[in-house]
Structure 1
Amino acid sequence: MTELDFKTDSKDNGEDSLRCDLCETEKGQLFCVFCQVNLCTRCIGAHMLDDPLKHKIVLISQRRSVPSFPKCEIHENTCCEFHCNECEIYICSLCISSEIHKGHVFSSLHEIYSARRQKIQEDVDKIENEFSPAYEAIIADLEAGVNNADGGFLKLTEAISKHGENWHKVLDIIIADIKLEVDRLKKEHVKKLKELVTEFKHAHSELQQIKLECSEILCSSDVPLTLIYRPANEDLMKPPRRVQVSMPIFKQKEIDCTQLRILFGSLLPFPITKQEGTFNRKATASPPGDIELFNPRLITTLDTGLETLYKVTCNCDEEIWASGEDSKIKCFEGQGSTINEIETTSEDWPFDIAMTNNGDLVYIDGARKTIELIKNGERKRLVTLLEWNPVAICVTSCDELLATMFSDDKTQSKVVRYSGSIQKQTIMFDNEGEHLLSGNDKIKYISENGNLDICVADFEVSAVVVVKESGEFRFRYKGYLFAAKESPFKPCGIATDSENQILTADCANHCIHILDQDGQFLQYIEGCDLDRPCGLCIDKNDNLLVADMNGKLKKIKYKD
């Protein structure tokens, strides 16, 4: 169109002010769909004079709502209404009867147009209702991450400084210890020198006595006395050997900055991943894949009678065992009635409990450093440790035991696999030779996933550590990056379900994190009357059992 097509009166705006394309003076009130021109009422007759059938006149206000079909390249002033599927071109109704398109299949352009418009409208709706809000949410999360970066990296710097202070403390202890060794060596050195001084003084005194005797003989002319002379100590009549007592030497080792840098620690860059799939804001982020999130709901609550509840385990017979800061381990049937109680051998509270595939109870007696089995009411000691302390256990799919434990000096932790009482495997280091788990006496709950991965909730370092069955490191989950929680992520109990999802209790934030088998965050279980959730267990129906530290046991349905 030319500039005249959009010429307007000074007092009018919009469609009513479009000029007639024929006279260019009057306002256009009508529109020819086929010719794509604006017309006034005076010019419409002249416009349709050639052939009224070649024109379609509508009100100018309707011109955008009426489809504007392309003109036929063969039949002048005729609009195409069909599409030839063989020739892949638009054609008019006159073309259909021509020899060129004889026997061809045609589609209605109006139907194609309507279907395409519907698809475009669906895309617009999807952008408006799904994609755009999701992008806005992701942008908001990322901007929040930008805003919180200073604080987060300040904490990181403070942690490094704190670690440096600890190194200085350890170095001071080492220096002080070496100085004590110097003091000890000094005392031994001086003592030895004094002993040698006494020894040589005594020898020197004897030598002086021999000299005195020799002088008396020389002053005498007594032949027999001279002939019978023999030194009282012939060893003294040899030149004395010089004794040199050397000072201790401090053998310094060269400082290898590269090795020190490795020993000090390293920064692990966080991964940035993009997941394809549907958008959902239930977890403040988009879940990976095509997973559809479910709104968890509380099914039942059971008062265990334990003042503090830490652990829960169950079997296929719907027997639920629970324990806490009490020497008694309690067994409940599905409706909540107590049906059995077992007391630990040491009468101290059990560190952890688990069920074998045959329904037997296994528990850790921390005071005795043992793992005990209760089978048919009889107690059997499976494992007794000397320099290590077992803290958590789980039973694998092949009825073996996995146990986490820490050393007596609380500097190392490891995972050990047992077949009965026989130790089969030890997992301690990652692929770089670094310790997989923090070295302390904090309990590290453990579970085996359906893909045979070993999952450990390491409370002290705020991470879920996952390794393969062979012990090869897979990943660490450090909490959901963009979650605005009151307290730092501190994983306690851990469990895995039939879909290989990993569930871990976040006690301080009164929620449970759900991850997929590759460590991608899916959603939270919040609400459900959760109060400091600790131990977790999945029952045979894929319901979640939660041991709340307030003594209550919760059953939660968290998926369809």
Structure 2
Amino acid sequence: MDICETLENIKETIAQDLNELEKFIFPKYQKSEDIIKSQKADQCKNSKKLTADMKNQKEALLKEIDAFIQSKQIEIDVMDSKHQIALDKQEDAINHTLTEIKQVIQDLKSLLDTSDDSIVLNYKSRIEKFRKVPSKFRVTLPKFLPYQTNRDQLLQQFGSLTALSIETEEQGDSVLFLADSVSPPGRPMLDFPRLITDIPTIGNGSITHVSCLTDEEIWIIGNDEILNLYNMQGDVLRSVQTKSGNRPEGIAVTRSGDLLYADYDDRSINLVSGTQVESLITLQGWKPRGLCSTSSGDLLVIMDSEDVKQTKVVRYTDSKEKQTIDLDDKARAVVVVNAAGKLRFRYTGFPSIPQKFYPFGITTDSQANILIADFDDNCIHIIDQNGKLLHYMYRCRLQVPWGLCVDSKDNLLVAEWVTGKVKKIKYYK
């Protein structure tokens, strides 16, 4: 590896660290700081409520309980002091770390702009110490539990205060980027995914979906009514026109190697077998948008209602409806299928990737990891089944990635909307 390539790789690492700090880690610490402020406000509000509750109860009792009220007030003051100290300590720690992160961000920006290669070569990443998002308190605030007034048992019936509980709760959405530290055992990811080949396509250039027939042959659809089968050299092996003449909305390859496509305007799901195109399913009141053929042979269909106000996922077995999942019309649903063909879906994105992120293409690999095309940021997010981010694939010069699929060797194929190319990328070691 020559010095230029070494410098490029180091600068890629610097850029990745900077991006992670600015887009992911720093906002997490800011969020933790907001939580502390909110907890302080709740603590103050709850303390005032406790005092008010006891004063109301006091008005209903005899003067003899004044001393008892004072003793209970002391208990509140002690708990308030303990709570305040704990929150102040946590806030000070977060503010200290935020200051450090700001300095590291500034240093990284300076490194990216420097012309002194020796400084860049000596760069050592300090980002690991910030990846662990600070713990947050799980606080059980005390409550006042009044009793009905009873002269004979005044002290017992006045009430009691629950104890203040402050526990440290680990946040489950630590920001993790480097695949070699979190990948499933036996299949680590490459630190830097490698572009194997660019597959050019014909037609109007814009392509939206890609699906593997074999490791050497892929189906793609673009902005017209033609479905094309390509080899890895970019040669068209076969072309099929949709039955209705409409542009297909989604494609999938069955276990037997036949092609399925969704005709949104025609409300149909069609099977391409040999030279024949057959309408497999015709919907009433719904329009098919996305397809997935599972390893068990079932077909999953994402569909919209006629007024586009409702979305649901329907599972078909032998063209018969077997399962329906209605999705909230206010939620953004992402639907994927793992290796066993089990339906998985989430609302409003995933916990450890940006809230502004909007997925276009999506697929899964043999490790049950989920790969999602980020149309706006020209990158691929790789997350596990629980939504934890494993890798952020921004290399390979992706340009508006849309459709995704993986071959039998877990190589990723990415359909680019702008260039009309399919990029084949190796991301596992």
- Shorter-chain TM-score range: 0.5 to 0.7
1:285-364 paired onto structure 2 within 5 Å = 287=182, 292-294=188-190, 295-305=192-202, 306-316=204-214, 318-364=216-262
Alignment correspondent of 1:480: 353
1:35-434 paired onto structure 2 within 5 Å = 142-147=25-30, 272-273=171-172, 282=178, 287=182, 292-294=188-190, 295-305=192-202, 306-316=204-214, 318-428=216-326
Select the residue among 475, 483, 499 that pairs with 2:367.
499
**1:392–1:445 contact (8 Å) kept in structure 2:** no
Provide the C-alpha distance between the structure 1 equivalents of 2:360 and 2:386, rounded to a whole number of angstroms.
19
1:448 aligned onto 2:321: no
* CA deviation map 1:398-452 (0-9, x unaligned): 2111000111122211100112321111112xxxxxxx35469x9x774310143
* Cα deviation, residue 496, structure 1: 0.7
1:513-532 paired onto structure 2 within 5 Å = 513-532=381-400
Alignment correspondent of 1:255: none
Q: 1:138 to 1:300 in 2, by over 3 A?
A: closer
* CA deviation map 1:251-302 (0-9, x unaligned): xxxxxxxxxxxxxxxxxxx992177xxx98647x963776744121111111
SS in 2 for 1:357: coil
Instruction: Give the TM-score normalised by the residue count of structure 2.
Output: 0.57
**1:545–1:554 contact (8 Å) kept in structure 2:** yes
Q: Indicate the structure whose relative CO is greater, using CA pairs within 8 Å and at least 6 residues apart.
A: 2
**2:198–2:422 contact (8 Å) kept in structure 1:** yes
Alignment correspondent of 1:553: 422
Structure 2: stretches of 5+ with no match in the other structure = 1-16, 36-168
RMSD: 3.4
Structure 1: stretches of 5+ with no match in the other structure = 1-133, 153-269, 429-435, 464-476, 482-486
* CA deviation map 1:162-204 (0-9, x unaligned): xxxxxxxxxxxxxxxxxxxxxxxxxxxxxxxxxxxxxxxxxxx
* Cα deviation, residue 382, structure 1: 0.8
Q: 1:313 to 1:457 in 2, by over 3 A?
A: farther
What is the number of equivalent residue pairs in this alignment? Answer: 274
Report the residue type matching 1:334 in the other structure.
Answer: M
Provide the C-alpha distance between the structure 2 equivalents of 1:147 and 1:362, rounded to a whole number of angstroms.
47
**1:300–1:556 contact (8 Å) kept in structure 2:** yes
Provide the C-alpha distance between the structure 2 equivalents of 1:139 and 1:446, rounded to a whole number of angstroms.
29
Provide the C-alpha distance between the structure 1 equivalents of 2:401 and 2:301, rounded to a whole number of angstroms.
21
SS in 2 for 1:409: coil
SS in 2 for 1:147: helix
* CA deviation map 1:93-135 (0-9, x unaligned): xxxxxxxxxxxxxxxxxxxxxxxxxxxxxxxxxxxxxxxxx9x
Provide the C-alpha distance between the structure 2 equivalents of 1:518 and 1:385, rounded to a whole number of angstroms.
33
Report the residue type matching 1:392 in the other structure.
Answer: G
Alignment correspondent of 1:192: none
Alignment correspondent of 2:406: 538
**1:315–1:540 contact (8 Å) kept in structure 2:** no
* Cα deviation, residue 138, structure 1: 8.7
* Cα deviation, residue 319, structure 1: 1.8
Q: Which has the higher strand share?
A: 2
Q: 1:274 to 1:437 in 2, by over 3 A?
A: closer
Q: 1:439 to 1:542 in 2, by over 3 A?
A: same
Taking only the aligned residue pairs, the percentage that are identical comes to: 36
Report the residue type matching 2:182 in the other structure.
Answer: P
Q: 1:559 to 1:438 in 2, by over 3 A?
A: farther
Provide the C-alpha distance between the structure 2 equivalents of 1:289 and 1:300, rounded to a whole number of angstroms.
26
Q: Of the two, which has the highest radius of gyration?
A: 1
Provide the C-alpha distance between the structure 2 equivalents of 1:386 and 1:140, rounded to a whole number of angstroms.
44
